[in-house]
C-alpha cells in the first residue's frame, strides 16, 4: 500500500521545470513574431499617438498581406536605426506629391482626417515636391507633419524594414 501511495503521489520536479521553460520560450516567440507592446516616444505622430502612450504591434499580419495606404507601421528608421511608427502614405508604384500643405497620391487629394490643423508643414509657405515609390518600398509620414522626420527626409522605406502593424493604440 505504501508503495502504491508513493507511486500515485510522486511529483517529479522536471514537469514543473518544463512548464516554466516552455512558457518562457512561448512568450519570447509570441512577443517577437506575433504581438508585442510599445511605448510612444516623440511627437511625430500627434494627435494619433500621444507621447508616453502605449500600443500593440502585430508582427504577423504582414506575412499574410502587404502594408496598405493608411496603415500605422513600425519600421527600422534608416537614420537612427531604432523602431519608429509612421503612417503609410504611398505603396509601390504610387506617385506622391506635396502641394503646399496637402498631399496627393496618383493625382488624387489624400483625405487625412488624422492630421490636425496647424501640423501641416508648408500650409503657409507652399512648395511642391514629387516622389515616385519604387517596387518593394513604401512612402511613410508622421501625422504631425511639422516635426516629423519621415520619407520626405530619408526617402522610401524597404519592405523588409517594416516590422509590424500598430494596433490598439
Higher pLDDT: 20 or 133? It is 133
Q: Could you list the residue range(s) of the whole structural domain that residue 145 is in?
A: 37-167
Q: How many domains does the chain have?
A: 1
Classify residue 47: in a domain, yes or no: yes
Classify residue 82: in a domain, yes or no: yes
Higher pLDDT: 34 or 83? It is 83
Active-site residue (options: 36, 81, 86, 163): 86
pLDDT of residue 124: 41
**Active site includes 86?**
yes
Active-site residue (options: 31, 36, 44, 148): 44
pTM of the shown model: 0.80
Classify residue 7: in a domain, yes or no: no
Classify residue 2: in a domain, yes or no: no
Classify residue 27: in a domain, yes or no: no
- Which CATH number fits the domain that encloses residue 65? 2.10.109.10
Measured CA distances, 47 to 97, 142, 144 (Å): 23, 10, 7
Higher pLDDT: 115 or 18? It is 115
Tens digit of pLDDT for each residue in 75-134? 999 988 899 999 999 999 999 999 877 899 999 999 999 887 766 655 444 578 999 999
Tens digit of pLDDT for each residue in 64-81? 999 999 999 999 999 888
Classify residue 23: in a domain, yes or no: no
Classify residue 24: in a domain, yes or no: no
Classify residue 3: in a domain, yes or no: no
Measured CA distances, 163 to 33, 82, 111, 129, 142 (Å): 9, 11, 26, 28, 17
Amino acid at each position: 500500500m505504501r508503495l502504491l501511495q508513493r507511486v500515485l503521489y510522486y511529483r517529479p520536479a522536471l514537469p514543473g521545470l518544463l512548464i516554466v521553460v516552455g512558457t518562457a520560450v512561448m512568450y519570447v516567440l509570441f512577443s517577437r513574431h506575433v504581438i508585442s507592446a510599445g511605448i510612444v516616444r516623440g511627437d511625430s505622430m500627434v494627435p494619433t499617438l500621444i507621447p508616453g502612450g502605449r500600443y500593440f504591434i502585430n508582427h504577423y499580419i504582414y506575412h499574410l498581406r502587404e502594408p496598405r495606404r493608411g496603415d500605422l507601421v513600425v519600421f527600422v528608421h534608416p537614420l537612427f536605426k531604432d523602431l519608429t511608427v509612421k503612417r503609410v502614405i504611398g505603396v509601390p508604384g504610387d506617385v506622391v506629391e506635396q502641394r503646399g500643405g496637402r498631399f496627393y497620391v496618383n493625382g488624387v487629394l489624400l483625405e487625412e482626417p488624422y492630421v490636425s490643423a496647424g501640423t501641416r508643414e508648408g500650409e503657409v509657405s507652399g512648395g511642391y515636391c514629387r516622389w515616385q515609390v519604387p517596387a518593394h518600398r513604401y512612402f511613410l509620414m508622421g501625422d504631425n507633419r511639422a516635426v516629423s522626420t519621415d520619407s520626405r527626409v530619408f526617402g522610401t522605406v524597404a519592405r523588409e524594414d517594416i516590422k509590424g502593424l500598430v494596433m490598439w493604440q
